[in-house]
Amino acid sequence: MNNKLLVSASPHIHTEESVRQIMWLVTLSLLPAGIAGALIFGFKVFWVVLASTLSAVATEALIQRAIKKKITILDGSAVLTGILLAYNLPPGVPLWIPVVGSFFAIAVGKQVFGGLGQNIFNPALAGRAFLMASWPGHLTSFSMPFAYDAVTSATPLALLKEGKAPEYLNYLDLLFGRRGGCIGEVCVAALLLGAAFLLLKGYISWHIPLSFIATTGALMWVFGPRGLFSGDWLFHILTGGLILGAFFMATDYVTSPLTRKGQLIFGVGCGLITAVVRLWGGYPEGVSYAILMMNAATPIIDRYTRNRIYGSQ
């Protein structure tokens, strides 16, 4: 009875949260946007998401089995990658596109680097970049919202790039997703719902999304079509993949900086590249490339924004 005081190594208080729980909750927070996508573009969207997710999980299991590692498909990270990739695809793609894309995302984007936690680039975006470079035709033909057949329409940003103002849209349409676009990016309201959940639970912080969106909006406002300070910043925030990218992909723990200061730099960098691509680039939309480029810069940002150890110089 003289040994009642037990002293274990720190940390003494810890939460029950695990990688698995966080991954599944992020997946849950993406659900509203997927349902909205299915309502807007029809049931075919469901098959794209399913094909992408199954392919991601199968690839992860096969590779981990082949290299005799522990199979970790239940931690939800492969499911999340598959869903995110599908959300970045146009609704009318042939089903082999998400299958090949998810294979690439997991095999080359993630497992080559050593699996979860080791990858430099966001796997879903690596998969998207691969698909975009390989089959640009499939990745840029968007179906019309609420037209349940093969009618295609350009995205608002693509119209803008061609010099045609998309006049038929008002901000409410953009907020609720009445426009051409990728499966998961169109319904901003549903995305914001999921994002609010993640922010309230504390799984993501506001630093990256806010600095990302604010930078893009500010630059689009400053460099407007009719001279300085004439840009339609709200239009640019609501279109494209900005909301999806800023809240769900730029905030990926593995590929974004660790410190708050680093995250602000990361977000501003993403916003800057997005705006530059939208204003002067060859593509109408630049969110995915912006995040990928800043992913590459993350190790450097981390090195220069390391927290000062208390008491040191």
Partner 1 sequence: MKNLIGHFVKGIAKENPTFGLILGLCPTLAVSTSLANAIGMGCAATFVLVCSNCMVSGLRAFIPERIRLPMFIVIIATFVTICELLMKAYFPALDKSLGIFVPLIVVNCIILARAEAFASKHKVAASFFDGLGMGIGFTVGLSIIALVREATGAGSILGFKFSGNFEPALMMILAPGALLTLGVLIAAVNLLKERRAARP
Backbone angles phi, psi at 231, to 5 degrees: -75, 155
Q: Is 66 in the site for partner 1 (CB under 8 A)?
A: no
CB of 134 to partner 1, least distance (A): 4
Using the contact rule CB under 8 A, the part of the chain among 9-17, 71-79, 129-137, 294-302 near partner 1 is 129-137
Per-residue buried b or exposed e for 14-52, using 16+ beta carbons within 10 Å of the residue's own CB: eeeeeeeebbbbbbebbebbbebbbbbbbeebbebbebb
For residues 3 and 202, what is the distance between their CA atoms, to the nearest angstrom? Answer: 39
Is the distance from CB of 183 to CB of 45 less than 8 angstroms? yes
Size of the site for partner 1 (CB under 8 A): 7
CB of 108 to partner 1, least distance (A): 7
Give the relative orientation of helices 123-134 and 96-107 as an angle to the nearest 10 degrees.
Answer: 130
Q: Toward partner 1, which CB reaches closer, 46 or 135?
A: 135
CB of 107 to partner 1, least distance (A): 10
Give the relative orientation of helices 287-304 and 123-134 as an angle to the nearest 10 degrees.
Answer: 140
Using the contact rule CB under 8 A, the part of the chain among 5-13, 126-134, 149-157, 281-289 near partner 1 is 126-134
CB of 245 to partner 1, least distance (A): 21
CB atoms within 10 A of CB 54: 16
- Which 217-236 residues touch partner 1, going by CB under 8 A? none
CB atoms within 10 A of CB 110: 30
CB of 139 to partner 1, least distance (A): 11
Which of 24, 46, 113, 135 touches partner 1 (CB under 8 A)? 135
Binding-site string for partner 1 from residue 100 to residue 119, where x marks contact by CB under 8 A and - marks none: x-------x-----------
Q: Quick check: helix, strand or coil at residue 264?
A: helix
Which of 130, 206, 223, 253 touches partner 1 (CB under 8 A)? 130
Is the distance from CB of 19 to CB of 116 less than 8 angstroms? yes
Q: Toward partner 1, which CB reaches closer, 27 or 88?
A: 88
Using the contact rule CB under 8 A, the part of the chain among 7-15, 26-34, 48-56, 127-135 near partner 1 is 127-135
Residue carrying the six token digits 């997991």:
106
Which of 134, 152, 170, 230 touches partner 1 (CB under 8 A)? 134
Using the contact rule CB under 8 A, the part of the chain among 115-123, 134-142, 182-190, 255-263 near partner 1 is 134-142
Q: Is 133 in the site for partner 1 (CB under 8 A)?
A: yes
Q: Toward partner 1, which CB reaches closer, 113 or 206?
A: 113
Residue 25: DSSP 8-state: H
Which of 20, 31, 118, 136 touches partner 1 (CB under 8 A)? 136
If you write DSSP's letter for every residue of 68-101 in order, what string do you get?
TPPP-GGGSHHHHHHHHHHHTS-TT--THHHHHH
Residues 6+ apart with CB under 8 A from 237: 213, 216, 217, 243
CB of 283 to partner 1, least distance (A): 15
Chain residues binding partner 1 by CB under 8 A are 100, 108, 130, 133-136
